[in-house]
Amino acid sequence: MYPASFEYFAPTTLDEALEILGRYDGEAKVLAGGQSLIPLMKLRFASPSALVDVNGVFELGTLTEEGGGLRIGALTRHKACERSELLRGRFGALGAAAPQISDPIVRNLGTVCGSLAHADPQGDWGSVMLAVGADVEARGPDGTRTIPIEDFFQGPFTTALEPADVITAVRVRDPGASAGGTYLKLERKIGDFATAGVAVHVSFANGTVGRAGIALTGVGATNVKATAAENVLAGAKLDDGTIKEAARLAAEAAEPRDDLRGTAEYKRNVVRVFTERGLRAVAEGRSHD
Ligand SMILES: Cc1cc2nc3c(=O)[nH]c(=O)nc-3n(C[C@H](O)[C@H](O)[C@H](O)COP(=O)(O)OP(=O)(O)OC[C@H]3O[C@@H](n4cnc5c(N)ncnc54)[C@H](O)[C@@H]3O)c2cc1C
């Protein structure tokens, strides 16, 4: 099916993009990689009056290191993350997730910020950002806002963004000198969305866990932050008992449903096994590097 007709704009500055979005009063949509929006338009699930293509707004930027953390500008493609040497070690959860997103065609075009804005509960970046700790930077008619990722996802395909907001970047917080993480994803075949996925991130302080982040993909109405599992890890030694208990609590946090990809019980078990595997990988220094 063809999309309904729409106006197309290709601004070269953020101010221009914001002016057009404001003019359409919620009826225009930002176009980034188009890997989620265009399929929705072809199916007529979305029929915006106008598309504001931000691919020429170079000030949005790409992937850079910033004060110990990362700035992932809105033009950062999945592919750039897959290739980046920055996303190793301390940022291993990001580096592990990037090559698991769909297939090379989608990764060449799709953006990290577009994925967050789309807020698909099966989106991989949402879980990764919840695990590592991040802030979404958005600019709208009233200026720039910073939205902690914990407050960003409000429901399936629903975020804290206002209709005329543009995400300019997602900022990954400084995890400290000693940290590691990974992302485990079960998919039925290459290029599929997750049957279940688990992002694991641990920062260490004096040999014990400082901050732990665990978040789940495809097993809830949004990406799920497994807070009880994170809490049991904080301040503890990353030993066998703690890992098993965290994995049990992560599985408890999942709210999976039976579907073509598997039963709820199966997915919950995948979450438990992946959390355990991910934490063991971090404990043994085998996180993505
Ligand atoms: C076949 C296929 C398989 C896929 N598999 C996976 C997968 O395994 N895992 C996964 O995580 N994803 C998967 N995706 C989705 C893919 O990751 C998309 O790239 C991503 O969800 C959206 O990014 P985009 O840049 O393409 O955004 P677009 O499609 O351009 O936009 C998506 C939505 O976000 C909004 N938006 C985009 N950028 C901004 C911005 N800067 N500010 C405000 N709003 C913005 C748009 O208005 C739109 O509502 C798949 C897609 C396809 C087509």
The percent of residues above 90 in pLDDT, for the chain, comes to 95
Under 8 Å between Cβ of 119 and 126 = yes
Cα of 45 vs centre of ligand 1, distance in Å, is: 15
pLDDT digits (tens, 9 = 90+) for 97-123: 999 999 999 999 999 999 999 999 999
Q: pLDDT tens across 222-244, in order?
A: 999 999 999 999 999 999 999 99
> How many angstroms separate the alpha carbon of residue 39 from the centre of ligand 1?
10
E strands in 50-207: 50-53, 63-66, 69-73, 134-140, 143-148, 153-155, 158-159, 166-172, 179-186, 196-205
> Quick one: pLDDT band at residue 193, thresholds 50, 70, 90?
very high
Evaluate if residue 289 carries a pLDDT over 50. Answer: no
Q: What's the CA-to-centroid distance between 284 and ligand 1, angstroms?
A: 34
Dihedral sign for Cα 272, 274, 278, 280, please: positive
CB atoms within 10 A of CB 266: 15
Pocket of ligand 1 from Cβ distances under 6 Å: 29-37, 39, 54, 74, 101-102, 106, 110-111, 113-115, 117-118, 123-125, 166-167, 191, 193
Task: Give, using CA atoms, the residue closest to atom 21 of ligand 1.
Answer: 115
**Which structural domains are found in the chain, ordered by start?**
7-53 (3.30.43.10), 59-172 (3.30.465.10), 179-283 (3.30.390.50)
Give me ligand 1 centre to Cα 91, in Å: 22
Cα 109 to averaged position of ligand 1 atoms, centre (Å): 9
Res 131 pLDDT > 50: yes
User: pLDDT at residue 288 above 70?
Assistant: no
Angle, helices 264-283 vs 240-253, to 10°: value is 150
Write out pLDDT tens, residues 1-33.
889 999 999 999 999 999 999 999 999 999 999
**Ligand 1 mutation target, pool 6, 55, 102, most atoms within 8 A of CB:** 102
Q: Which of 131, 133, 283 is nearest to 207 (CA)?
A: 283
Cα of 78 vs centre of ligand 1, distance in Å, is 10
pTM for the full model?
A: 0.97
pLDDT, the chain, mean: 96
For atom 36 of ligand 1, which residue has the closest CA? 114
Residue whose CA is at the smallest distance from ligand 1 atom 43: 166
Atom of ligand 1 nearest to the CA of 32: 30
